[in-house]
Amino acid sequence: MTKKQKRIVINGDVKMDTVTVYSENQIKVEACPWMADKADEVVPDGRVRLKGCTTIEPGAGMVFRPYRQGTGNRYSMLFKTEHCDVMRTQGGVIIEKWCFRPPMTLDDICTARIKEGQRINAYYQSRKEETIW
């Protein structure tokens, strides 16, 4: 499958009667017994696990919106040091992710932060496009 082809998860618009059970941390939707023949038409390859956002509306209406798939990585790596990853989001926002291990003392962390901060600032200044804060 190429990147441009979308994986078919749900076969078109399938309408059926369902039984919906709302419990504390779970919502279970099952096909009614008289719709058992249609239930196999929903998913072509058996069980599918989707990530998305479920909204329960007044009157117990429910909407599931899957997250966009196949849009690539959320972040692209720009620069990496021993304790910091500098990444850029798809929207152009720059993120610095710092990670210091527990055996480091406060003085070690401050020293590493200053040295690596200077390298990261030099990287920002060397970029041709303007960084928007």
**Residue 43: predicted pLDDT:** 65
**pLDDT, mean of residues 114-121:** 90
Ranking 70-74, 86-90, 115-119 by mean pLDDT, the lowest is 70-74
pLDDT greater than 60 at residue 6:
no
Collapsing DSSP states into helix, strand and coil, what is residue 46?
coil
> Which residues, including other chains, have CB under 8 Å from residue 5's CB and lie 6 or more apart?
none
51-65 tens-digit pLDDT: 788 887 887 777 777
| Residue 78 · residue 86 · CB < 8 Å | yes
Q: How far are the Cα atoms of 50, 105, 106, 107 from residue 102, in angstroms, in the given order?
A: 37, 8, 10, 13
The per-residue pLDDT for range 26-46, each reduced to its tens digit, is: 777 777 777 767 666 666 666
- What sign does the CA torsion over 109, 111, 114, 116 have? negative
Q: Do 63 and 55 meet the contact criterion of CB atoms below 8 Å apart?
A: yes
> Across the chain, what does the average pLDDT equal?
77
- Cα distance between residue 133 and residue 117, in whole Å: 16
At residue 12, the pLDDT reads 62
Residue with tokens 């696990």: 49
